Amino acid sequence: MSSSMMLRRFCCFSAPAIASSSASSSSSLSPPKKKSLVFLGSPQVSAVVLEALFNASTAPDSAFEVAAIVTQPPARRDRGRKLMPSPVAQHALDKGFSPELIFTPERAGEEAFLASLKALQPEICITAAYGNILPRKFLNIPPLGTVNVHPSLLPLYRGAAPVQRALQDGVKETGVSLVYTVRALDAGPIIARERLQVDDQIKAPELLDLLFSKGSTLLIRELPSICDGSAQAKAQPQDDSKATLAPKIMPEESWLSFDQEASVVHNKVRAFAGWPGTRAKLLVFDKENGIQNVLELKLITTRVCNQIKSDAGGSDEISIHNGALIVPCGGRTQLEVLEIQLPGKKVVSAAAFWNGLRGQMLKKL
């Protein structure tokens, strides 16, 4: 694929005719007044960072301009399976950013893409949940480096799912880090970090939003030092001995085990909210005719039960109390289930689900 074809990949999507002033690339004939910055990101949380960069780049004293955007290729989404740009690409188009300056390579190591990127002569690259591995050839292009907005307190939770794994572990504190990108996974020098206390009911999508919002503010605060190169001198190396990993979540991890303590189950429900969700199988028992059916459902909202004490810890029967399903768990603990979702159905309250059982017993498997 030629570089011109790649640059025009987004022309099939409607975009405003007037391009943002941020969209102009620097001329190769004269040095730019501002540093040329390329942004890489894909999901909606990345669009928050991009918006902060757009706003900051228009300030009179701004030291940079957004010269190009790199994002995941268009994908088929929603029920209609319509080919749609990534949330970052759509946000850029909505802001009037030139579609010819939105790159959508399948891999960041494609020669045609790298050639097009080099032609723009970017001085800084900023990444936020881009979703592709950056090869050494890419990292060698911007002279001022590539900086990543990473939603954890590095060196903790290096990897693809830092927010989800932190919630799964039940952490009380997390944060966001600005870090230079190196070939090793999330292992580069740290420019700055911001801490955040974690509420025990917050779910992964909400925490992601909070962290990338904080990360955007942190990035704009630190950009002057990134642009003048002083950030490279002050950045602190990570202590690899304290590193923990946050591997990608797999769909088969979504199954819950009520043999674990209620806090473990609750943390997993919070961590896997959105995608892939958490699933469980329950036994529905009709006392009148003795018929039993296995019911598969998703647990949407839960909390650890602190008021009701398990009498024996050996019962598998699920009850309801104050509108919540009370599920016995390991270690004589109990889980309150507040919202559930049956396959192909909408999310309903636990009370509405219980009423639909019409007197049938419910047990855990």
> Running along the chain, 365 residues long, what does each successive block of 10 average in pLDDT?
42 39 44 84 97 96 96 84 93 97 97 97 98 96 98 98 98 98 97 98 98 98 97 97 98 97 98 97 91 96 82 75 96 96 97 95 92
**Contact indicator for 307, 320 with CB cutoff of 8 Å:** no
Neighbours of 355 (CB within 10 A): 12
Q: In 3-state terms, what secondary structure has residue 66? A: strand
Question: Which residue intervals of 229-357 are DSSP H helices?
Answer: 230-234, 262-271, 350-357
Q: Residue 314 has which token pair?
A: 């050996």
Structure tokens at 295: 């019911």
pLDDT for 306: 86
- Decide: helix, strand or coil at residue 30: coil
Two structure tokens written together for 50: 């991009």
* CA 88 to chain CA mean position, Å: 13
Q: d(Cα 88, Cα 21) in Å, to the nearest integer?
A: 18
Q: Which DSSP letter does residue 255 get?
A: B
Torsion, Cα of 351, 354, 356, 358 (10° steps): -130
In the 3-class helix/strand/coil scheme, how is 308-340 assigned residue by residue? Answer: CCCCCCCCCEEEEECCEEEEEEECCEEEEEEEE
Q: Where are the domains of the chain?
A: 35-246, 251-364
| Strand pairing report for 173-180 and 146-150 | antiparallel
> Could you tell me which CATH number the domain at 35-246 has?
3.40.50.170
- Distances in whole angstroms, Cα of residue 300 to Cα of each of 81, 249, 278, 312: 25, 17, 7, 27
Residues 112, 110: Cα–Cα separation, whole Å: 6
Residues 254 and 272: their CA atoms lie apart, in Å, by 7
The counts of H helices and E strands in the chain are 10, 16
The DSSP output letter for 10 is: G
Tell me the HSE value of 211 on the side-chain side, using a 13 A CA sphere.
30
SS3 string, 151-201, reads CCCCCCCECCCHHHHHHHCCCCEEEEEEEECCCCCCCCCEEEEEEEECCCC
> What is residue 11's predicted lDDT score, i.e. its pLDDT?
40
Is the CB of residue 131 less than 8 Å from the CB of residue 141? Answer: no
At the topology level, CATH places domain 251-364 in: Methionyl-tRNA Fmet Formyltransferase; Chain A, domain 2 (3.10.25)
Residue 46: predicted pLDDT: 98
Tokens of 172: 């009380």
How far, CA to CA in Å, does 192 sit from each of 130, 150, 157, 203? 20, 11, 16, 25
Could you give the count of Cα atoms lying within 13 Å of 328 in the half-sphere of its Cβ? 17
**In angstroms, what CA-CA distances link 104 with 3, 41, 77, 117, 151?**
11, 11, 17, 12, 24
CA distance 224 to 125: 14
How many C-alpha atoms does 105 have within 13 Å on its Cβ side? 23
Q: Is 60 exposed, middle or buried (0-12, 13-18, 19+ CB in 10 A)?
A: exposed
